[in-house]
Amino acid sequence: MENNSHAHALFGPEELRVQLNWMVRSKICRGIAKGLAFLHEESKLKIIHRDIKTTNILLDKDFVAKISDFRIAKLHEGHQTHIITKIAGTT
């Protein structure tokens, strides 16, 4: 991706960090929320990502957020009625 990861934009080497104004930050947050809403509600396969963090959010040239790294994602089965409370993400 042209602008690397959200983590790189926020916490990368100072000379390579991207200056994100509040409008761009808000756009990134809305993009992440829309992506998660799509995965959870709108896609045919209901996907629970389980590892959302800045390193797993890629930013294109227009700072549109793209969710990546689905290694520990789970498919949600609609008939399940219980909640798993085990921590699953990575650091």
Query: Which residues are known catalytic residues?
Result: 51
C-alpha dihedral sign at 3, 22, 55, 47: negative
Distance CA 38, CA 42 (A): 5
* Paired sense of beta strands 65-67 and 74-75, if any: unpaired
